[in-house]
Structure formats: C-alpha cells, structure tokens
Amino acid sequence: MPSALRLALILGALTAFAPMSIDMYLPAFPAMQQDFATNAGHVQLTLSVFLLGLSLGQIFYGPLADRYGRKPPLYVGIALYTVASVAIALSTTIDSLILLRFAQALGGCSGMVIARAMVRDLFDERGSAKMYAQLMLVMGAAPILAPILGGYVLLVANWHAIFWILAVFGGACLTAVVFALPESLPAERRGAGGLGPALVNYGFLLRSPAFLAFAMTGGCIQAGMFAYITGSPFVFIDLYKVPAEQYGYLFGLNALGLIASSQINHRLLSRYSGRQILNTAVPVIATAALVLAALAATGTGGLLGIVVPLFFCIAGMGFVGPNALAAAMAPHGRIAGSASALLGVLQFGTGAMAGTIVGLLNDGSARPMAFTIAGLACCAAALRFFVLPRFNRPA
C-alpha cells in the first residue's frame, strides 16, 4: 500500500477533474457569451452537459473497474479527457463546444469513480470517511486556485488557453497513474464482467433503502453546490459587477470554508461517527440556504447578503459529503466500483438537473440560484429527519 500522503495526492488529483474542469472556466462565461454571440443560458448549457456526462459516464466505469481492476479503466478515461480538452481548446462554435464538453466529462468521471472505489478497497467506514476528508483537502485547492487562475489567464489570453491548461493537467494525471499508483483490487477479488452482472449489481443497490438514503442526502447537498457554480458567475460578475479576475477570490473563499470544514470533520471522526456528524450538519445547511433565499428574494444586504449565507451553505458540505459517501459505500465492498458509479450517477445527475434549472430560470437576479439551493437543502433535511434515523447504526 502506498504512503497515505502519496495516495491522497494522486486520488485527490483524480477527484479534482470535475472542479478543475468546471471552476477554471467559470470566469470566462461572460467572455464566451460575447465570443459566440449567444445568451447566458446557452453558455450555462456547457456546464449542464458536462455534469450530465459526469453522471452517465460513471455507469460504465464502475462495472469495468470491478471486472478488470481499477487502473485499466483509468487509462482509457484520462486519455479521453485529455484529447477532448485539446479539441475544446480548438473549437470555434458553441455547439461543438457543448458536444466536446460531454466527451470531456465522459473521460474525467473515471477518476472520481475509481478514486472512491480505491478508498473503499483499502479502508473501513470510519477510515474511508477520514480519507475522503483528506481528498477534499487536496481537491479543495482546485476551487480556490482554478477560478483565480482562469480569471488571470483571461487577462493575458482568451478562454481557449484555459482548456490547454486542462489538457496538460490530464496528461500529468495519466503519468502519475501509470507510474505511481498501485492497483488496489487483486485479481481474485474481481467480479464477473458483462451487462448482466452490472445490471444485477445496480438493481441490488437501487433496492437498498440505506444506500439510496445516504446517496440522495449527500446528492441534494452536492447539487446545491452545482446550482451555485452555475449561477455565481452571472450573479457576481454581471449582477454585482465583480471583475472576472476578482471573481476567483470570492469563489476561493467558499472553497476555503469547504476545506476547513472537511478537516474539522476529519478530527471529529475520532470522537463521533460520520452519521452523527451528518445528522447535525444537514439542518444547519438547510437553515443557511433558507436565509440565502430570503435575502435574494428581497435584495437585502446586496452582495454581502448573498456571500455570507452562501459561505455557510458551501462550507457545511465538508461535514456532509465524506460521511454520506462512506455510509453509503460501507456495506458494498464486493461491488465498490458499481456502488461508487451509482453514487456518482445519482449525485451528478441531481447536480445536472440543478444547474439546468438555474439556467432555464435565469432572470438576471440571484433568485434562481438561491431558490434552487434552498429547495435542495430542504429535500436533504427531509431525508435527514424522516429517513436517516432508520440507519443510524453503522453497518
């Protein structure tokens, strides 16, 4: 087994494909809208399609990782991501960019699925929650650095340069996987291949109330993040006139809160179960989301009235994501790849839906983003109070 630091760095980079591919180009949304002579909703579709690709692609990587081991599917996925990033950098129409973003997501999602499965291969539920918290520390650097870097890239180049940088990132990750990441699933533990076994595994997981409860609680909270990611460039840059190169600092502030909470969560896991922490965090996030919706509806507080409750919504995710993920995955070590894939489908599918809703309801105000976040947080709170109490004892 590799050192914990090396494992966290490599797996953290693999899980960072999504935030890197999303957050770095957010400051370019207004510029892309002008460059392609299109509307804000069309540009936001490039994000919604990416989230859809992240969701659908995971269906295939999970069973493949259970059948052939963790590394071979990674080779294919990261290579596809890298090639698609180059093609996006060369694209000249918004329609081609939308299609290529889907392909980029199909490749990048391999890293997320297999990183989660590898953690489950190597750790028990509490150990997994701690490692997932460590991964959030590594991948948390992406939401801080990516939009800042993207904003400054736009000062010296155009949005195409952002995707050249992502292509280099993909190549670096592929090199690390090939030479520094060992296989975590030995041949004797691999399952049967084919469509039939995959469908059986997915059917089994979909009939598990505990799996679905923890997956959707975490999924609703994470989808709030994607509603924020979709709406914030236009809310901050267009509505409140924050310069594109400064947008990254606001975005990074929330990412710092997420990193801090994930590390506090790591320490709390020495005294409390992940399920106890999860049960406390969800109502706090829901309360902050309702405050956000109220301030957005009335316009009270201006930019500060959006930024402050958003900080608590995003930071609170560090107490939800690792614990919901570990609780959902814990009983399913034999089919960890499929469980990881289905988790991703449910969570990123919900995220794609949330991003699409924000784009469709775009009215030039902060209300679509705020109301979507609040609605999702309330759904998570309903699951926490009415469903999760049935599964409070760790598996």
Chain CA centroid to CA 84, Å: 19
188 in a structural domain: no
* Domain at 253, CATH number: 1.20.1250.20
Say whether pLDDT at 2 is over 70: no
94 in a structural domain: yes
pLDDT at position 307, please?
95
Which tens digit of pLDDT belongs to each residue from 277-287? 999 999 999 99
Residue in the structure block whose two tokens are 């922490």: 277
Greater pLDDT, 394 or 376:
376
385 in a structural domain: yes
Say whether pLDDT at 194 is over 60: no
In the Cβ-directed half-sphere of 1, how many Cα atoms lie within 13 Å? 9
Greater pLDDT, 107 or 144:
107
C-alpha 134/C-alpha 13 separation (Å) is 12
Greater pLDDT, 340 or 317:
317
395 in a structural domain: no
pLDDT band at 199 (very low <50, low <70, confident <90, very high): confident
- Average pLDDT of the segment spanning 142-149: 76
Cα torsion 345, 349, 352, 353 to 10°: value is 180
Q: What domain count does the chain have?
A: 1
pLDDT at position 192, please?
62
pLDDT band at 143 (very low <50, low <70, confident <90, very high): low
pLDDT at position 1, please?
54
- Average pLDDT of the segment spanning 266-290: 94
Other residues' Cβ atoms within 10 Å of the Cβ of residue 368: 22
Q: Which domain holds residue 214?
A: 4-183+194-389
Say whether pLDDT at 171 is over 70: yes
Say whether pLDDT at 238 is over 60: yes
Mean pLDDT rounded to a whole number for the chain: 88
pLDDT at position 134, please?
77
Say whether pLDDT at 375 is over 80: yes
Q: Do 140 and 52 form a contact (C-beta atoms < 8 A)?
A: no
Spell out the residues 6+ positions from residue 97 whose beta carbon is closer than 8 angstroms to its own: 36, 46, 88, 91
- Counted residue by residue, the chain has a size of 395
Percent of the chain exceeding pLDDT 90 equals 43
Spell out the residues 6+ positions from residue 114 whose beta carbon is closer than 8 angstroms to its own: 14, 61, 65, 70, 73, 74, 77, 337, 340
Which tens digit of pLDDT belongs to each residue from 6-26? 888 899 889 889 888 988 898
Spell out the residues 6+ positions from residue 194 whose beta carbon is closer than 8 angstroms to its own: none
382 in a structural domain: yes
pTM score of the predicted model: 0.76
Say whether pLDDT at 394 is over 60: no
pLDDT at position 109, please?
92
pLDDT at position 48, please?
82
- Average pLDDT of the segment spanning 156-171: 94
Say whether pLDDT at 260 is over 80: yes
Spell out the residues 6+ positions from residue 331 whose beta carbon is closer than 8 angstroms to its own: 208, 210, 211, 395
Q: Do 55 and 344 form a contact (C-beta atoms < 8 A)?
A: yes
Which tens digit of pLDDT belongs to each residue from 38-55? 877 788 789 888 988 888
Residue-wise burial string across 72-109, b where 16 or more C-beta atoms lie within 10 A, e elsewhere: ebbeebbebbbbbbbbbbebeebeebbbbbbbbbbbbb
Say whether pLDDT at 86 is over 70: yes
Least confident piece of the model among 29-33, 71-75, 104-108, 218-222 = 29-33
